[in-house]
């Protein structure tokens, strides 16, 4: 009954190490900043503003929402296996059969890799970033091995 979800075993699953680290740190700083602001909202002398407990709770809630949105940038992922290739971005996910994939490359000066498709089209792969260095090199090598193994199969294996 479920069309898209499956118990596929992926041979390769990659996420950007540095991007995830910085996103988590950024979300934590945002949350701590909003908690700190909520704590000092009602402190001190009378300034003319009438702030209440509800205002403090709202400040923390805003921090939760902003931190949650920031954490969305830790989502990008690349998975590859016999069933094909799956690229997850901040918003959305795309699954491709191996016969649609022409290769994986880094555009000169680009921050992340891209899946090459027919007709000069491509899919950005934010999970493989230049700044990840050796981690990205190993992931690209592994992907290319899988492409050589499964690339000749028509339609993959569902």
**Longest alpha-carbon distance in the chain:** 73
Say what percent of the chain tops pLDDT 90.
68
Greater pLDDT, 132 or 153: 132
Contact 132, 14 (CB under 8 A): no
pLDDT at 157 over 60: no
81-131: pLDDT as tens digits: 998 999 999 999 999 999 999 999 988 888 999 999 999 899 999 999 999
- When the pLDDT of each residue in the chain is averaged and rounded to a whole number, the result is 86
Q: Which two tokens stand for residue 78?
A: 């690349």
If one looks up domain 76-150 in CATH, what number appears? Answer: 2.30.29
Task: Say which residue the tokens 């918003």 belong to.
Answer: 91
9-27: pLDDT as tens digits: 899 999 999 999 999 999 9
């Amino acid at each position: 009954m479920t069309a898209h979800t499956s118990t596929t075993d992926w041979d390769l699953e990659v996420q950007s190490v540095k991007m995830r680290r910085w996103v988590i740190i950024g979300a934590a700083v945002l949350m701590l900043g909003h908690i700190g602001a909520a704590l000092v909202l009602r402190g001190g002398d009378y300034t003319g503003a009438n702030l209440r407990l509800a205002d403090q709770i709202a400040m923390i809630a805003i921090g939760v929402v902003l931190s949650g949105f920031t954490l969305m940038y830790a989502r990008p992922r690349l998975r590859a296996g016999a069933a094909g290739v799956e690229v997850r971005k901040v918003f959305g996910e795309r699954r491709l059969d191996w016969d649609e994939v022409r290769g994986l490359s880094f555009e000169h000066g680009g921050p992340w890799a891209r899946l090459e498709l027919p007709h000069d089209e491509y899919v950005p792969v934010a999970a493989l970033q230049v700044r990840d260095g050796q981690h990205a090199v190993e992931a690209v090598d592994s992907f290319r091995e899988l492409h050589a193994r499964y690339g000749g199969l028509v339609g993959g294996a569902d």
